[in-house]
Amino acid sequence: MAPNGRLIFLLFYLIFAIDGAPIGHKEKRFPSAIIIGVKKAGTRALLEFLRLNQKIHAPGPEVHFFDKNYEKGLEWYRNQMPETTWNEVTIEKSPAYFVSKSAPERIRQMNPKMKLIVVVRDPVTRAISDYTQASLKKKRLGMMPSFERMAVGDCSGWLKTNCTAKTRGVNANWGAIRLGIYHRHMRHWLNHFPLDQIHFVDGERLIRDPASEVASTERFLGLEPMVHDADFAVDPIKGFPCVRRNDQTLHCLGKSKGRKHPNVDRKVLEKLERFYQPENEIFFRLINKHFSW
């Protein structure tokens, strides 16, 4: 092909996307990345911070397609997505996917190249956050037992807790505790996706240094990092990171984020730390990454 011919071909390629649509054409597209979990680890914060990058777009509410709405079909799923151009990233967040037995295979069937994002944090802190949210939701139904009783209550307690030698006196059957045994759930995902398609975000560091965690996620998504330290400030009351707008006012996450946790008995915290320590080590070896919990 003559030089002029190559130039004309390149010009047409830049004007039109591969599917024939103009390069700036917007349409609803399936996500190329999904934040699959973990509940109460910082998934909402991560998504809000990622949206500072103008090339990242997500639906408003959690879609829950692969666990609760699968029977509605793929076209329903696509219609929940925002309109994007071919060079923008569509992403969705449904942290309940992490513990779903069916979601990994369903996602792989739709797109075996899907990029998956997992936000994890110290499982003890995550369990307390989970309890705090649940207790506030159930106020109308009466007061919940204390965190201590839920976590390490005796085996004849109202929850019929599983306090065996193996669980070191911890109620490992309680969902808030069980979810923090990350390796059990992660294995299901690794049966369907290679490790290099999964990006792990440190939920603790996301609070301390949001720009670094967001930048690494942007790179994982194939984007040039556009989020920087100057985009954040700390909520003076909650101590949680907020987005700094162009006019220097702050956009902080809702009331449900950065809630004050109950004071938990130190002995209970130590028991939970001993319980999770070997479980964390299994998880770290499984994903070939270590977090400082």
Using CA atoms, how far apart are residues 200 and 202, in angstroms rounded to an integer? 7
Is 285 annotated in some ligand binding site?
Answer: no
**Measured on CA atoms in the order 243, 249, 254, 260, is the torsion positive or negative?**
positive
Is 258 known to sit in a ligand binding site? yes
Residue 121 marked as a ligand binder: yes
Q: How many whole angstroms separate alpha carbon 188 and alpha carbon 118?
A: 13
Q: Is 40 a catalytic site residue?
A: yes
Please check if 41 is assigned to a binding site.
Answer: yes
Q: Is 132 assigned a ligand-binding role in the annotation?
A: no
44 annotated to a ligand binding site: yes
Which secondary structure element, helix H or strand E, spans residue 215, and what is its range? Answer: helix 210-220
- Determine if residue 42 is labeled as part of a ligand binding site: yes
185 φ, ψ to 5°?
-80, -35
Instruction: Establish whether 259 is an annotated binding residue.
Output: yes
Active-site position among 28, 39, 40, 139: 40
Residue 157 near residue 66 (C-beta atoms within 8 A):
no
3-state helix, strand, coil in the chain (%, to 5): 45, 15, 45
Q: Which residues are annotated as a binding site for 3'-phosphoadenylyl sulfate?
A: 40-44, 121, 129, 257-261
Q: Which residues are annotated as a binding site?
A: 40-44, 121, 129, 257-261
Residues annotated as part of the active site: 40
